[in-house]
Amino acid sequence: MTDQHQAFDELAGTYSKARPQYPERLWAALRQRLDRHSLPHLAVDVGSGTGIATRQLALALPEWRVVGLEPGNAMRAQARRDSRDTGIEFSVGTAEDMPLESASAGLVIAAQALHWFDHSRFYAEARRVLAPGGLIGILQNNRVLEELLFFEDYESFLEEHSPGYTRDYRSFDIAVELSEAGFSQVSRSSTEWSRPVTHELFIELALSSSKMHTAVKQLGEKETIRRLRTMLKRHHPSGELEIPYLSELFTGQNP
């Protein structure tokens, strides 16, 4: 495993506590699409992290075997702790090299993880692992940055102190990519929602980011938190803010 695969190892506990779940509407849409097909009841969450989406997947598909593949040692260990008594299996694996037999799965998902993958290799590996008619699902929780002035300061801070970071790092056309990779019946579902958070919870959410972790290494944790608090107080002096999200589910069928 590469250093990139262990990028969140120091952040696993904070990641598990601070990151949001995915809207139930998207899981319902995924279930509806799966119900149209007779498929092997194996669902795989690739880049499963601490298992936030994996546990929601298991609830959405209670009769399926659910496997989370995560290369990060601490993230995988946190997922197992957080998922006791769920029946979910967490194993070492990457998006580009899944330890699964060909045509064995009915569903492969990636939740908030696609930007870490070699896209073309992941899509090819998903097609190998999926049975004919099986579905790939890509889930994204996207903050609507332009709706809060605070995020202009926040993103500018990251771009200044996290070398290589740009706020549009996840701006790729997933539907086009899935079609070009050979998936058919590509579809998109989306829903808008908001998440109220306190300043302290937002700081924990920020510190769960590997990009913010780079800024911490540059500035130190104390100074990073001081600057985040200053930004938050300037824009949201009440001590709370509401983060707007646009969440998306893209699916494609393995021919």
CA nearest to 213, candidates 162, 173, 247: 162
Q: Are 163 and 213 in contact (CB under 8 A)?
A: no
Residue 217's contacts (CB-CB under 8 Å, 6 or more residues apart) are none
Domain ranges, residue 82: 3-143+168-194+245-253
With tokens 């029946």, the residue in question is 87
211 part of a folded domain? no
pLDDT of residue 10: 60
218 part of a folded domain? no
231 part of a folded domain? no
Q: How many domains, in total, are found in the chain?
A: 1
CATH of the domain at 185: 3.40.50.150
Judge whether residue 167 has pLDDT over 50.
yes
Percent of the chain with pLDDT over 70: 96
Across 54-59, average pLDDT:
98
215 part of a folded domain? no
Using one digit for the tens of pLDDT, what is the confidence trace for 209-246? 989 999 999 999 999 999 999 999 999 999 999 999 99
